[in-house]
């Protein structure tokens, strides 16, 4: 995916078709095939060999003749992604607001936002670019998180909104369903985030409560929770983020003893995630998780419009599958 701003339909189509990766000093020294297999694990070694052979994967714009050729810093690998099969997703999304500067989009709980891994065309970014031209996605939601996504339609709007995010001037609130009947009505979770060292999952984080939470700088985390409903061993919570750490809500709730419904990493058992990546999740597993996705929904965003200066607020209702679960 190129960072260049496309100016013509042809440039846009090229951006959508070809992913480019520049070799850095930290990643040089590997053979071409070994690098592809290690960096892009969603294809087999045989698939990458075929891609090099038919020219859909190139180095510096040229077909590779030696699979073991050593990559140097500055080399550019280009990958034509049109031939790569992608997992099925829920392609349904709704534009709830549109003007010349921004879009506000509502996405489902089975739609990746950005290209990553085996997803490229089956992403919100790709579908928006095809419909609106080049766009800038301002807030990232996980594939299984539903709700509001803010889009800038040009560079100036993206720059202004980006500064609001940096200054924590963008309000983000979420609704979640958790396992267990929460005893408190409101809770202000103050602490810090760090790697979950005891977990088998490399990307998993943990939350630790601490009164001196602000001393932890970029690792500090604060989330305010309020209970909206308790029903059938489940609780419906509203969450207000004061910091925006990776997996902050999910990790915080797990540390408080209330794992997120349907969450394969921070839910009842992280073995669900390990089984998922191995393609071994069973229907019995899904029944235990209650949902096939995590019960996390971005329900409110507030910010200053990047061009008009008007304060704006957007809200999103709980999706049908979450509402039915807490009301059943």
The residues annotated with a catalytic role in the active site are 142
Separation CA 238–CA 147 (nearest Å) = 14
DSSP sequence for 257-290: T-PBTT-TTTSS-THHHHHHHTT---HHHHHHHS
Structure tokens at 27: 């990643």
Separation CA 113–CA 263 (nearest Å) = 18
Cα–Cα–Cα angle for 168, 104, 18, nearest 5°? 95
**171, 133 in Cβ contact below 8 A?**
no
Separation CA 245–CA 288 (nearest Å) = 28
Separation CA 158–CA 170 (nearest Å) = 13
**185, 226 in Cβ contact below 8 A?**
yes
- Beta-strand ranges (E) seen in 36-170 are 57-59, 62-63, 76-80, 93-98, 102-107, 136-137, 146-152
Select from 285, 283, 293, 301 the least CA-distant residue to 320: 293
Separation CA 40–CA 242 (nearest Å) = 34
Segment (H or E) for 91:
none
**191, 223 in Cβ contact below 8 A?**
no
Region of residue 161 (left: phi > 0; alpha: psi -120 to 50; beta: else): alpha
């Amino acid at each position: 995916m190129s960072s260049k701003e496309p100016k013509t339909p042809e440039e846009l189509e090229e951006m959508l078709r070809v992913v480019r990766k520049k070799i850095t000093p930290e990643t040089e020294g590997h053979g071409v095939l070994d690098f592809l297999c290690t960096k892009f694990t969603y294809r087999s070694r045989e698939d990458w060999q075929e891609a090099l052979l038919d020219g859909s994967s190139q180095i510096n714009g040229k077909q590779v003749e030696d699979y073991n050729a050593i990559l140097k810093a500055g080399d550019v690998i280009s990958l034509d992604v049109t031939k790569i099969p992608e997992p099925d997703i829920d392609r349904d999304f709704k534009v709830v607001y549109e003007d010349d500067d921004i879009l506000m989009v509502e996405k489902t709980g089975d739609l990746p936002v950005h290209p990553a891994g085996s997803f490229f065309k089956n992403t919100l970014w790709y579908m928006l670019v095809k419909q609106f031209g080049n766009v800038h996605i301002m807030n990232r939601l996980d594939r299984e998180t539903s709700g509001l996504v803010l889009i800038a339609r040009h560079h100036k709007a993206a720059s202004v909104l980006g500064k609001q995010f940096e200054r924590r001037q963008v309000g983000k609130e979420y609704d979640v369903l958790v396992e267990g009947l929460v005893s408190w009505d409101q809770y202000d979770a103050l602490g810090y985030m760090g790697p979950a060292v005891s977990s088998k999952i490399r990307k998993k984080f943990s939350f630790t409560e601490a009164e001196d939470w602000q001393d932890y700088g970029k690792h500090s985390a604060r989330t305010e929770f309020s209970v909206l409903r308790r029903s059938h061993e489940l609780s419906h919570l509203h969450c207000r983020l004061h910091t925006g750490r990776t997996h902050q809500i999910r990790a915080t709730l797990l540390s408080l003893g209330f794992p997120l419904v349907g969450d394969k990493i921070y839910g009842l058992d992280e073995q669900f995630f390990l089984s998922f990546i191995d393609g071994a999740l069973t229907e019995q597993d899904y029944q235990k998780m209650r949902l096939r996705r995590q019960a996390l929904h971005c329900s409110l965003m507030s910010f200053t419009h990047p061009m008009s200066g008007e304060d704006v607020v957007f809200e999103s209702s709980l999706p049908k599958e979450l509402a039915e679960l807490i009301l059943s």
